[in-house]
Amino acid sequence: MKIDLKNDNIKGKYKIMARILKNKELVNTKLATNYGGWMYCDTCNENIGYLCYSTYDCLELKYKCNCGSHGRALLNFEDSKTGRNCNDALLTIKNRFCCPKDNDPLITILDKKVTNYEIKITCKSCGNIYKKVK
Ligand SMILES: [Zn+2]
Ligand SMILES: [Zn+2]
């Protein structure tokens, strides 16, 4: 059996460093990095929240920025699991919405910067889908 060590090393490193996106749709919204970090309204450039890179499996976000712009984001990964609907509320620690099962921080929405929002986010570690509406 022939093993391509060089190729294998590259794949190994890539797996640790980055996840492969399946869907990425951003409307009037910018993300600081490929699939996480600060989120900005693309119309007024204000930051409206922060998405934790490694703890979510799928995010669906809709919001109305204070400037009047409607933003949307949809992100998921090649290796995302389907997720399970649940009625549990997200846990708020400081200004972060966290999974109430494992305390994993998932997303922050800066309440003062948006008029309203609708979040649907899947926790990567337990697979629960949480919803939050303002
Ligand atoms: Zn705005
Ligand atoms: Zn969880």
How is the chain split into domains, by residue range? Answer: 19-133
At residue 62, the pLDDT reads 98
Residue of higher predicted confidence among 53 and 9: 53
11-26: per-residue pLDDT in tens?
Answer: 444 445 589 999 999 9
Mean pLDDT of 79-102: 95
Measured in angstroms, how far is the CA atom of residue 53 from the centroid of ligand 1? 23
**Residue 64: pLDDT over 70:** yes
Cα of 63 vs its chain's centroid, Å: 14
pLDDT above 90 covers a percentage of the chain that reads: 85
Ligand positioned closest to the Cα atom of 83: 2
Q: Give the chain's mean pLDDT.
A: 90
In the predicted structure, residue 116 carries a pLDDT above the cut 70 = yes
* Residue whose structure tokens are 């997303």: 107
Instruction: State the distance from the centre of ligand 1 to the C-alpha of 46, rounded, in angstroms.
Output: 6
What local confidence, expressed as pLDDT, does residue 13 receive?
Answer: 46
Q: What is the DSSP string of the chain?
A: ----HHHHHHHHHHHHH-PPEEEEEEESEEESSSS-EEEEETTT--EEEEE-SSSEEEEEEEEEETTS-EEEEEEEETT----EE--PPPEEETTEEE-TTT--EEEEE-GGGEEEEEEEEEETTT-EEEEEE-
Per-residue pLDDT averaged across 44-52, rounded? 98
pTM of the model: 0.86
Pairing of strands 128-133, 84-85: parallel
